[in-house]
Every structure is written in structure tokens, then in C-alpha cells.
Amino acid sequence: EDQVTQSPEALRLQEGESSSLNCSYTVSGLRGLFWYRQDPGKGPEFLFTLYSAGEEKEKERLKATLTKKESFLHITAPKPEDSATYLCAVQVDTGRRALTFGSGTRLQVQP
Amino acid sequence: DAGVIQSPRHEVTEMGQEVTLRCKPISGHNSLFWYRQTMMRGLELLIYFNNNVPIDDSGMPEDRFSAKMPNASFSTLKIQPSEPRDSAVYFCASNQGAGNQPQHFGDGTRLSIL
């Protein structure tokens, strides 16, 4: 069974304090790994797609990386507006197009 | 460009009533997904359509749930009769083309069954 585990469940940072969020996955064959950001009362907002080990994507203060077993979302010098829940999801190479989501990391950045 | 549009944003109804949730996907997207989010189980796929045809409904919890996509710009998720355990946030998402394109989500319908 495909599994996605995110850690930590919650993370509190001071503004400017860089850190990383982890997404570990166990799947039969990875077709894509997706990172989303979700604000309260909103739907998940797409951030990145990673397709193969070694791939990296960047957007502003965020950088996503992928290995054969896990992905990291690195947040450099975060600001309070980066506070949100970050979700990781995988799509497996079975033709099934559904995403399997992790439970998310709730990030709070304090000024 | 308009994103995925869901209605209503909030729905409160009594147990036993019929509930209909609506979704308009992004124009040009040919796949549509219905997800449910709860604190206990997170985000789970209920059903998805490709070119208006239901492809995978293995996530639909039971016969009380049904979904339709009569055309490329509209889908409904219906619960009849509703139960308190159906209370959750229901999201619709859409994407285009190849299966590993990112799915884009609406802002959801928060459903409360009393």
C-alpha cells in the first residue's frame, strides 16, 4: 500500500530561521511528487512537482528536493506570510491518477 | 484565469437531507477529482472523471454518495441521505492532459450535518 509520511506535524520558527520539512514515501513506482500549500479555509495551492531522484525546484524562499525515499521542502529565511500547512502528495505509476496525500506540516513563522 | 469554482462554500443541514455540491473545473482541463478532507483521515480521493467519464470511484464511501459530470464544465457530488459522519470539507480539483500534471484545487465546501 502506498504511504506518505510527513514530519514534523507542526513547526514553529522565528522569522529568518531556516528549516526543512520532510516527506517520506513508500510506493510501488513514483510517477510524481507534489508539494502544496494550504491556508486556513482555502484549498491546497500547487507549489512544485518533482519527477525523479536528484531533481530540485525553487520558488522564492522555497526549495524542494527529491531522493528515492523522501522529499524535503527547504524554507530559507521564512517570513510570517509563509505560515501555512504544507502538504506532500504522490502519484504512482499504475495509471491511477489519484494523489495520495500526507497529513501535512503546520508551519508557523513568528515575527 | 478563473480557478476551480465550488459552491456552496458552506452547507449546514440536518441528518437525512439530500446534499448537492457543485464544481466548475478550470476551462480546458479534461480531468476532475473530488476529494474529502477530515482531521482524522486528511485528504482522500472520492472519485475522478476523465473526459466526463467516471474512471475511479473506489474512494466513494458508500451508495449514499454519487457523482456526475454531465459536461466538461460542471460536476456534482450528491449525498443522500446525509449522516453526521459525512461532515468534512469537500474539494474539487482539475488538471489537463498527461496524468502527472498538477491538480488545481477549489476552495472547498465545508459541510456540516447536524
DSSP 8-state assignment for residue A20: E
Q: Comparing C-alpha atoms, which of B111, B103, B110 is closest to residue B48?
A: B103
Please give the grid coordinates belonging to residue B32: 476532475
- Chain A residues with CB inside 8 Å of B43's CB? 44, 87, 89, 99, 101
| pLDDT band for position B62 (cuts 50, 70, 90) | confident
For chain B, the average pLDDT equals: 94
| pLDDT band for position B101 (cuts 50, 70, 90) | confident
The residue among B36, B43, B111 with the most chain A CBs within 10 A of its CB, best to mutate, is B43
Q: Find the angle CA(A28)-CA(A34)-CA(A38) to the nearest 5 degrees.
A: 135
3-state secondary structure of A80: helix
- Chain A residues with CB inside 8 Å of B106's CB? 43
Please give the grid coordinates belonging to residue B43: 485528504
| pLDDT band for position A97 (cuts 50, 70, 90) | confident
pLDDT over 90 (residue A19) = yes
The predicted model gives B97-101 an average pLDDT of 71
pLDDT given at position B10? 97
The predicted model gives A90-97 an average pLDDT of 78
pLDDT over 90 (residue B66) = yes
pLDDT given at position A2? 83
Q: Round to whole Å and give the CA distance between B71 and A77.
A: 46
Q: What are phi and psi of A29, to 5 degrees?
A: -170, 120
Strand blocks (E) in B1-114 = 5-7, 10-13, 19-24, 31-38, 42-50, 53-56, 65-71, 74-79, 88-95, 104-105, 109-113
Q: Round to whole Å and give the CA distance between A56 and A23.
A: 14
pLDDT given at position B99? 65
- Chain B residues with CB inside 8 Å of A51's CB? 100
Q: What are phi and psi of A107, to 5 degrees?
A: -105, 130
pLDDT tens digits, one per residue of A31-47: 899 999 999 999 999 99
pLDDT tens digits, one per residue of B27-42: 999 999 999 999 999 9
Q: Round to whole Å and give the CA distance between B10 and B54.
A: 26
**Residues of B at the A interface (Cβ-Cβ below 8 Å)?**
4, 31, 33, 42-45, 48, 50, 55-56, 59, 91, 93, 99-108
